[in-house]
Amino acid sequence: MHTLLWGPDLLAAADLWAMFLHFGLLSLLAVGGAITTTPEMHRWLVAERGWMSDAQFTASVALAQAAPGPNLLFVAVMGWNVAGLMGVLATLSGSLLPSTVLALTVTRWGARNQQHLGVRAFKAGLAPVTIGLLLSTGWVLTEPLRAYPATALLVAVAVGFMLFTPLSPLWPIAIGAVVGALGWLG
């Protein structure tokens, strides 16, 4: 049954549960994002289960990476190719639920134990790493526009805004959007 609504033939409930559990385990190992667990997804979906061919697997990753949106979309495309809408539900919920529950649990625990030296040290150590990653991301994203002097000014204003004000980061994003929409960079 391959209809527009349901996709390929549906798997048995036990297979969908196995897919949910496997993708759930992978979500807890996905340091660096879901894309880092792609080789294990390939091993399990293609080599072990035979639910997808090599070509389908590669096309699923390529299609999702080419589409706008979160990098996690390739997991949904794999689920669709294996079991239609139920496959999407199994792969996405498996990929999102465990890591979300872990993040929420650790965040709540950290908030309750913020006075502990280890928690304070962890937070203090992550601040410069986070700032460095954000600056490097900004550097990469501004590469096409670095020839325009207004770009450097916008970046400096945004960085200063983030470092020295408690206001929402949406303000510098909105200012950048207005500058870009009005064509003030070129």
Tell me the pLDDT tens digit for each residue of 125-170. Answer: 878 877 777 677 667 667 777 787 777 787 788 888 888 999 888 8
Tell me the pLDDT tens digit for each residue of 114-125. Answer: 999 998 898 888
Q: Is 61 in the same domain as 35?
A: yes
Residue located via tokens 């090599």: 54
Of 88, 111, 134, the one marking the end of a domain is 111
Tell me the pLDDT tens digit for each residue of 32-41. Answer: 678 888 889 9
Q: Is 130 in the same domain as 89?
A: no
Q: Is residue 5 part of a domain?
A: no
Q: Is residue 7 part of a domain?
A: no
Q: Is residue 86 part of a domain?
A: yes
Is residue 55 a contact partner of residue 43, using CB atoms and an 8 Å limit?
Answer: no
CB burial class (10 A; 0-12, 13-18, 19+) of residue 78? buried
Cα gap 99→32, rounded to integer Å: 12
Q: Is 102 in the same domain as 158?
A: no
Q: Is 35 in the same domain as 106?
A: yes
Q: Is 19 in the same domain as 105?
A: yes
Q: Is 72 in the same domain as 87?
A: yes
Structural domain boundaries, residue 130: 116-181
For the chain, where are the alpha helices, taking DSSP H only? 13-29, 38-42, 54-66, 73-112, 117-141, 149-164, 170-181
Q: Is 107 in the same domain as 120?
A: no
Q: Is 77 in the same domain as 59?
A: yes
Of 66, 84, 111, the one marking the end of a domain is 111
Q: Is 74 in the same domain as 132?
A: no
Cα gap 135→127, rounded to integer Å: 12
* More confident site: 41 or 174: 41
